[in-house]
Amino acid sequence: MATETLKPGEVARRLLRAADRAALATSLAAGGPAGVEAWPYASLVLLACDHDAAPLLLISDLAEHAKNIAADARAALLIDGTAGRVDPLTGPRVTVLGTVEKTDDPRVKARFVARHPSAALYADFADFHLYRVAVTRAHFVAGFGRIHWTDAADFTFEAGTGALAEAEDGLIRQLGPQADRLAQLATGRRAEGWRLTGVDPEGLDLRREGAVARVEFPAPVATAEAFATTVDTLLEAATARKKR
């Protein structure tokens, strides 16, 4: 589906799903450096998304953000989609506002680690915890003069998330051998070594060393069968184009 036909919240959600990092801003808690209590504090974090597009973060208890969240769960995430533009201010970015909560869900942790394999080295340490961001609103800037506030209902995605979450491991095993072909759909270039890291109702995620790629579906799917059929259709269409 062309982005021109999508609502602002849907375009912003695509930007979030495709990102593997963000700037996280929290409010400095009391007990930190003297004289800066309650000041905004921002730094780089690794990012993954759950099936409903809720942002996922893995944070150490020693990090300033963990201390801040314990005192005030409100936070903001900036996802920057302007890389490669001559004028970055003409490019898209979205600021996601929400409340941050710890989660012990092993499925969610596995999804984060699949997105960020390096995190496997410390994800099970006692002082690291996974956090899920419950989105309140999003502020999407698509370029000069194209600015939208989006409510959570228009930014997050609910349909089909449960069924595909249960089927995710099986779909990754089934489609994993096609990872290089799937990545070519997203990047337009042939390369080996891609790995399928996640699936959701709106597409799939891949990684190759430090690079990530995302394949967006023409329309959302709600079942494993519909997901596999959509992938097959995309691959067949790509093969047909090459033969022309």
Class of domain 161-243: alpha beta
Residue for token digits 């990090």? Answer: 63
pLDDT in tens, 129-156: 999 999 999 999 998 878 999 999 999 9
Instruction: Record the pTM.
Output: 0.93
| Residue 239: per-residue pLDDT | 81
Domain map (residue ranges) of the chain: 3-155, 161-243
CATH architecture of the domain formed by 3-155: Roll (2.30)
In 106-223, which ranges are continuous DSSP H helix?
A: 106-115, 152-155, 161-175, 179-187
For the cut 70, the answer to whether the pLDDT of residue 243 exceeds it is no
Instruction: Output the CA torsion sign for 54, 59, 64, 66.
Output: positive
Res 240 pLDDT > 80? no
- Strand ranges, E, within the chain: 21-27, 40-46, 48-49, 55-60, 74-80, 93-103, 128-143, 146-151, 195-200, 203-208, 211-216
- Secondary structure class of 169 (helix, strand, coil): helix
Q: Quick count: other Cβ atoms within 10 Å of Cβ 227?
A: 26
User: Do 3-155 and 161-243 have matching folds?
Assistant: no
Segment 158-192, tens digit of pLDDT? 876 788 999 999 999 999 999 999 999 999 999 99
